[in-house]
Structure 1
Amino acid sequence: MTTFGWGTTGEEATAAFAQHIAGRTILITGVTPGGLGLETARVIALRDPKLVILAGRSTEKLQQAEEDVKKAAPNVSVRQLVLDLGSLKATRIAAEEVNNWSDVPSIDVVINNAGIMATPYALTADGIESQFATNHVAHFLFTQLLMPKILASGSGARVVNLSSSGYKGGPVRFDDYNFDGGQKYEKWASYGQSKSANVLYARGLRERYGNKGLQAYGVHPGAIWTNLGHHAKDDLRAMGFMDEAGNTVNSERLKWKTLDQGVSTTIVAAFDPSIADQSGAYLADCQVEETQEDWMQDPEGPEKLWKLSEQLVGQEFPAPA
């Protein structure tokens, strides 16, 4: 990992960890064509995994995703999973489907990649602000419902949560996660809340399941232009990171990565054996990085988030004995 950095590509990272990918079962959420999730699946598929599970909202896009993965690795085993993270009911249905796959007794790595960014204020059908609901709460429920299969893979199972340097935009608002019904809503503070939650959830997983061999990490992939940024174009133009024609602009403050470069840190978090003793860490540019904000230093943060998440999904997930 020490030789990896900002410009490392996903293909370079999977080549380095090929022996840790071969024969393993990996589930990736948010495999939209042109996005980080599908690129992550593609570079993993090159290294002979046992199975790659592609999870996404649309059967049409899932079919396209599978075709793209098999174009890169024709012999890879792929399974599609319809997963709508905007609904806790739909999330439960997806998890139940996976748990009923008798031919998939264990899952070695879960990559919680799906997300939305800087969207207008909206509540899901469950009454939860949409960025927090999609980026964290539904992923929490989905992962916890799959935990028996994750732990069944034995020591070294991993959960990777796609966070962002956007976590600096704000803490988890434990007492007002819905921004006073939208009256106090600010899209970047909301995004920051969800991205802070992604890291705190990784730390919560470490605390509850570390003694069972589970490792968990939060990841900042870098600045990569995908459809995720649709609602952020005006802001990016105002900051000089995008021109009027919608083209990305590099500057001293921000340098855009390619899609392939954007998945390398996820690959490190998912497979690098050298970080096994740093579970709960936040990674950026393929390296472990400290989170400096006060709310990320609060030792009670992971537990407070866990309790709030249980409350929101209506189910408790106590630490195993």
Structure 2
Amino acid sequence: MTAIEYSESTTTSEIVKAFPDKVNGRTFLVTGASEKSVGSETAISLARDASPAIIILPGRTYSRIEPVIKEINNINPAVKTIFVELDLSDPASVKKAAGEILDSTDIDHIDVLINSAGVMVTPYTPTNWKSPTGQPIELQFGTNHLGHFLLTKSLLPKIRKAAPGARIVSVSSSAHRLSGIRYDDPGFQNGETYTAWEAYGQSKTANILLANFLGHTIPKHEIASFSLHPGSISSGLQQYVTPEILQEGLARAKDIPNFEPYGRRKTLQEGAATSIRAALDPSLEAFSGKYLNDCNIYTPAPWADSFEEAEKLWKWSEECVERTFAN
């Protein structure tokens, strides 16, 4: 096997074909797999270039995921696809979906969990998630972090069943450099001081800290955990990114040290490649907890690169879940 020279141009097919034994016969769960997304390309690539046993595809509605399920069935009928209804912005939906997966006799274990779903620079929208003080959590943090936090924590028993060699992958963004975690005011004073980029940034910082915490607290040979920036890709994620909002984001990023280069737009295959490497490449196991960009290990912002911060966020997130379900 020729070694892959990982770069921004690496494709999912190159990686899956290099590590078929890390795909064949295994069970994958990919959130955010609606049509023409990084999540859908991740799932499709696994089935196109190898042969997983099962791909679990949660989504808000079956109609959003159906085209991807049909494509997987067409390219590789041997792969069993399972749809689970999941709205990450709704705590009750996350709890219900996790329960269904844990109770399913069709899903004995989960080898790889890829948290790829997300929303980006949305207008201020409160959710039913609550902060430890009872403040409503806005949509981006609720969906991008708390939904995935509860799902991941809930599914750990089935992921541990796949150990050694299981993986948890969290899709973050270079936008994490725009904000750390606003523990004292995660909801932007109920929207009065809301800025969409800062809200997106803190949610993406949380994705990195989740991987950091898991990487430090679970033996890496059992479950290795990674976060990543997929790159700049045209997908449904950008539905709220108007030219004005894009320019605002670029202006905010201009003077930030080490900001991931805003290069050419990647194809979906290139954009999903970093997720695929994080999910499959055995050489990454020793670096569990790390952040990747363009398929290589990269240094995140200081507030996203600390186990102390990761531990603080984990405990705070547990308090959010407790407060949310106490009402």
Q: Same fold (TM over 0.5)?
A: yes
User: SS at 1:128's partner residue?
Assistant: strand
TM-score, L = length of structure 1: 0.90
Q: Give the equivalent residue in structure 2 for 1:25.
A: 27
Mean Cα displacement is larger for which, 68-77 or 273-282?
68-77
Partner of 1:112: 115
Residue 276 of structure 1, CA deviation:
0.3
- Evaluate the alpha carbon distance shift between residue 143 and residue 300 of structure 1 in structure 2; reply closer, same or farther with a 3 A threshold: same
* Matching of residue 189 in structure 1 with residue 198 in structure 2: yes
**In the alignment, is the contact (CA less than 8 A) between 2:208 and 2:291 conserved in 1?**
yes
The 1:263–1:212 alpha-carbon spacing in structure 2 relative to 1, beyond 3 Å, is closer
Q: Which consecutive unaligned segments of at least 5 residues does structure 1 have? A: 242-251, 316-321
Poorly superposed stretches of 4+, deviation over 4 Å:
none
Structure 2 partner of 1:14? 16
The residue number in structure 2 matching 1:73 is: 76
User: RMSD between aligned alpha carbons?
Assistant: 1.8
- Letter of the structure 1 residue corresponding to residue 21 of structure 2: Q
1:102/1:313 CA distance change after superposition, 3 Å: same
Query: Are positions 1:125 and 2:134 aligned together?
Result: no
1:201-240, Cα deviation, whole Å (9 max, x unpaired): 0011122222671111001110001111011122366479
Equivalences, count: 304
Q: Deviations over 1:231-252 (max 9, x none)?
A: 11223664799xxxxxxxxxx8
- Alignment check: 8 A CA contact 2:221 2:285 kept: no
Contact persistence 1:151–1:212 (CA under 8 A): no
Q: Does the 8 Å contact 1:224/1:262 carry over to 2?
A: yes
In the other structure, the counterpart of 2:309 is 301
In structure 1, the residue corresponding to 2:35 is in which secondary structure? coil
1:268 aligns with 2:286: no
In the TM superposition, residue 253 of structure 1 has moved relative to its aligned partner by 4.4
* 2:91 is aligned with 1:82: no
Given the two structures, how large is their TM-score scaled by the length of structure 2?
0.89
Indicate the residue corresponding to 2:266 in structure 1. Answer: 257
Letter in 2 for 1:296: A
**Percent identity among equivalent residues?**
38
2:148 pairs with 139, 149, 158, which one?
139
CA distance in 1, matches of 2:306, 2:14: 36
Matches of 2:319 and 2:113, distance apart in 1 = 23
- Please state whether the residue corresponding to 1:314 is helix, strand or coil: helix
Match of 2:320 among 308, 312, 320: 312
Unpaired stretches in structure 2, ≥5 consecutive residues:
130-135, 251-260
The 2-side partners of 1:266 and 1:97 are apart by 25
* 2:7 is the counterpart of 1:5: yes
**Structure-2 separation of matches of 1:33 and 1:68:** 10
User: Within 5 A, what are the aligned runs for 1:94-109?
Assistant: 94-109=97-112
